[in-house]
Amino acid sequence: MSPPRRLGLNALFLDPGVSGGSETYLFALVPELLRLCPRARFELVTTRRGAAVVAGLDWAGGVELTALACDDDEPVRRTLAEQLALPRLARQGRWELVHSLSNRGPRRPGAASVVTVHDVIFFRERTLGLVSTHGMRWAVRAAVAGADAVIAVSRSAARDIAATLHVEPARIAAIPHGPGRPPPVQPVDAGALRARLGLGESKVVLNVAAKRPHKNQRLLVEALPLLPRDLRLVLAGHDDGHGGELAAAAAALGIGSRVHLVDGLPDAELEALWAIASCAAFPSLTEGFGLPVLEAMARGLPVACSDISVLREVGGDAARYFDPRAPAAAAAAIEAALGDPEAAARGRNRAAGFSWERAAQATLEVYERALARRVREHA
């Protein structure tokens, strides 16, 4: 089989600045797909807010951009758009294949179907409200049931998907991310950002992640009293309702002035924050991939992170690992990372082994297998 010539990309998950790793996946993978398939016609279907941002990107001219009348925080509208309007577009546009880029997708897609499942954490933990959790579980099961192939973003995630959703391992391809969004933006002035965030001249331990229970930022708060007093902790990422608990924990430990809770930042400010940091720390209890670990390493930051299989898969021998339930172990790993003169070089070398071009090439191979499966089933 040759690669498809008419493709739909389902980006109805996109809520700019909130979508996290799925957003990075979209913004980094799609330009590589366009470059590798210059003769293909791509139609990218997204939300109203998503379309407003995508239209301003330098690769937007390579796709036909369609905005449906929904946003990610309108669950009923979004579900109807995904299950009804998207398959209708597939039929009208004679798509050969539709790739749903983040977990959810149509049960009857109207074309060969590939779905990227970033993780199945929400099947094991309540990361959302009760209704949203059940809705998400239904939507992911529907997408996988209708898919000819499933993409996982790590070997660890592939094993979880196979076990949780009862998918044959042969239908799942593990394709790791590249190292963040290329190219990095020009950062804002670091001194001005330090002043705005009240960081003074302190060293910074940085965590970039949405504030959710499974991200386990509370462990870093509890580890901070065990670290030198000139260190401050910055927790940067969208607050999904967990920020108040983190602030209360810091206050109870008497370190409220050393813990900085920062909501999602524009790319230029986040880039400056990476540059300000002396170390990055990621205490997650579970992950699908752990992209910020790679982003930190690509920037030469020492990394301390949870000793879980997926972060071992990403960080290799370039990170310091700790038990994600032991504050003292986290503090020791952070101090070791800060004192390691070779950490920057090891991290950059590790990050260089990940590539969005290779991710796109592997994704195109999945498209071909999905098309071949669809042809066999309809022969």
* pLDDT reported for residue 182: 63
Name, in order, each residue with C-beta under 8 angstroms of 330's C-beta and a sequence gap of 6 or more.
219, 220, 223, 281, 283, 304, 322, 323, 324
pTM check: above 0.95: no
Q: Which two tokens stand for residue 364?
A: 């195109």
Q: Under a CB-based contact definition with an 8 Å cutoff, are residues 376 and 369 in contact?
A: no
Lowest pLDDT segment from 102-106, 238-242, 337-341: 238-242
Whether 264 shows a pLDDT value over 90: the answer reads no
Largest CA distance in the chain: 69
Pairwise CA distance, residues 207 & 283, whole Å: 9
Q: Which CATH superfamily is domain 190-352 in?
A: Glycogen Phosphorylase B; (3.40.50.2000)
CA 80 to chain centre: 25
For residues 293-299, give the mean pLDDT. Answer: 96
Mean pLDDT over 319-329 rounds to 98
pLDDT tens for each residue of 60-83: 999 999 999 999 889 899 999 999
CATH 3.40.50.2000 residue ranges for the chain? 6-178+355-377, 190-352
Cα 345 to its chain centre, rounded Å, is 24
> What average pLDDT does the segment 321-328 reach?
98
- Percent of the chain with pLDDT strictly greater than 90: 84
Please calculate the CA angle 170-37-107 and round it to the nearest 5 degrees.
45
Domain 6-178+355-377 has CATH 3.40.50.720: no
pLDDT at position 176 over 90: yes
What pLDDT was estimated at residue 121?
A: 87
Report which of 118, 121, 79 is spatially closest to residue 101, judged by C-alpha positions: 118
Q: What is the pLDDT of residues 88-99, one digit of tens each?
A: 999 999 999 999
Supply the pLDDT for residue 126. 63
Question: Cα–Cα distances in Å, from 105 out to 182, 198, 361?
Answer: 26, 43, 22
Backbone angles phi, psi at 160, to 5 degrees: -65, -40
3-state SS of the chain is: CCCCCEEEEEECCCCCCCCCHHHHHHHHHHHHHHHHCCCCEEEEEECHHHHHHHCCCCCHHHEEEEECCCCCCCHHHHHHHHHHHHHHHHHHCCCCEEEECCCCCCCCCCCEEEEEECCCHHHHCCCCCHHHHHHHHHHHHHHHHCCCEEEECCHHHHHHHHHHHCCCHHHEEECCCCCCCCCCCCCCCHHHHHHHHCCCCCEEEEEECCECHHHCHHHHHHHHHHCCCCEEEEEECCECCCHHHHHHHHHHCCCHHHEEEECCCCHHHHHHHHHHCCEEEECCCCCCCCHHHHHHHHCCCCEEEECCHHHHHHHHHHCEEECCCCHHHHHHHHHHHHCCCCHHHHHHHHHHCCCHHHHHHHHHHHHHHHHHHHHHHCC
pLDDT digits (tens, 9 = 90+) for 142-165: 999 989 999 999 999 999 999 999
**Residue 19, pLDDT above cutoff 90:** no
Q: Is 70 exceeded by the pLDDT of residue 330?
A: yes
Residue 298 has pLDDT above 90, yes or no: yes
Query: What are 180-237's pLDDT values in tens digits?
Result: 876 667 899 999 999 999 999 999 999 999 999 999 999 999 999 999 999 999 999 9
Task: Determine the pLDDT at residue 97.
Answer: 97
Provide mean pLDDT across the span 291-306. 96
Lowest mean pLDDT, pick from 24-38, 114-128, 193-207, 293-307? 114-128
Contact predicate 14/338, CB 8 Å: no
